[in-house]
Amino acid sequence: MNQNTNKTVLILGANSDVAKQCIIQYLEKGFSVMAASRNTKSLEDFIVTNNLDQKKVTVLYFDAADFDSHQQFYNDLSVKPHIAVYSAGFLVDNQKALRDFKVAKQMMEVNYMGGVSILSIIAMDEINKNLERIIGLSSLSGVRGRKSNFVYGSTKAAFTQYLAGLRQELASRKITVNALVIGYIRTKINEGLELNESLIMEPDYVAKFIVNAGNSFTIVPNFKWKMIYHILRLLPESLAAKLP
Ligand SMILES: NC(=O)c1ccc[n+]([C@@H]2O[C@H](COP(=O)([O-])OP(=O)(O)OC[C@H]3O[C@@H](n4cnc5c(N)ncnc54)[C@H](OP(=O)(O)O)[C@@H]3O)[C@@H](O)[C@H]2O)c1
């Protein structure tokens, strides 16, 4: 019997283009999936269109920014997850975020605060002996503050640091925490942006790194992005300041 047959993955922000590919790939690996999103209709359509096994996928309503609902959302889960993936994300242009705190705050709420809220609830439920892994989708934009996207980047930097600490917190319970530090993906969050085509990854390619996450804390899909990640980390501030 497949070792994952009795295991369940909870995907938070499951209407993301990457998360949808994760649903398909987790099912292929034998997992059951609880797909949680604000947009349950779109997920239900996705399941039908792709002919996914409806006995193995449950669609749940989840709003990352409605923090007060998170404990009840977790309590109501019929099965407590073996794996939790946080993929909710929100991006607005940096100049807009600098001039309109409402949208900057929304990025903080979706990219960081929502993750801290729900993942802490999941992590601190010691009665759930199933839990073996928590995965957060973070970004290379959180590695260095850069002119073009530092408001969004700061929310991802905070999320990565939260995940790093959570990994230490959960190590004694043998629960692994991974941060996917991701470059450009062809998804709806980037619609309208002009990105370097040679660096854009497809959602199903990135999903493979998520569903096959191992023990490393930081996972950077794609060799080119790995190089960029290391360069960004080492770059002196005087040079980082010259980047867009
Ligand atoms: N695409 C990239 O280049 C890139 C790079 C690095 C990191 N990432 C991260 O990867 C993750 C997945 O993004 P993606 O690329 O797949 O883009 P995406 O398709 O736009 O997915 C983002 C998802 O977040 C969901 N979301 C936004 N606010 C939410 C809320 N309050 N509650 C619940 N869900 C909410 C959106 O839901 P709706 O569908 O209902 O709007 C959307 O499905 C995000 O965390 C993103 O920041 C993306």
| 155 CA → ligand 1 middle, Å | 13
Report which of 88, 157, 154 is spatially closest to residue 118, judged by C-alpha positions. Answer: 88
Please indicate, yes or no, whether the overall pTM of this predicted structure exceeds 0.85: yes
| 140 CA → ligand 1 middle, Å | 15
Provide the pLDDT confidence category of residue 194 given band limits of 50, 70 and 90.
confident
Query: Which contiguous run of DSSP H or E holds residue 218?
Result: strand 218-219
CB atoms within 10 A of CB 44: 14
pLDDT at 92 over 70: yes
Q: Ligand 1, from 62, 189, 200: best to mutate by most atoms within 8 Å of Cβ?
A: 189
Quick one: pLDDT at residue 56?
Answer: 97
Contacts of 170 (CB under 8 A, 6+ apart): 123, 134, 176, 177
Question: Residue 35 pairs with which residues in a beta bridge?
Answer: 11, 59
Residues present in the chain in total: 244
What residue ranges line ligand 1, CB within 6 angstroms? 13, 15-18, 37-39, 62-65, 87-90, 110, 137, 139, 182, 184-185, 187-190
pLDDT in tens, 123-134: 999 999 999 999
Taking the C-alpha atoms of residue 124 and residue 75, their distance in angstroms, rounded to an integer, is: 13
Lowest mean pLDDT among 20-34, 156-170, 187-201, 209-223: 187-201
Quick one: pLDDT at residue 67?
Answer: 98
| Mean pLDDT along residues 112-136 | 97
Closest C-alpha to ligand 1, atom 34: 13
Quick one: pLDDT at residue 1?
Answer: 66
Quick one: pLDDT at residue 244?
Answer: 85
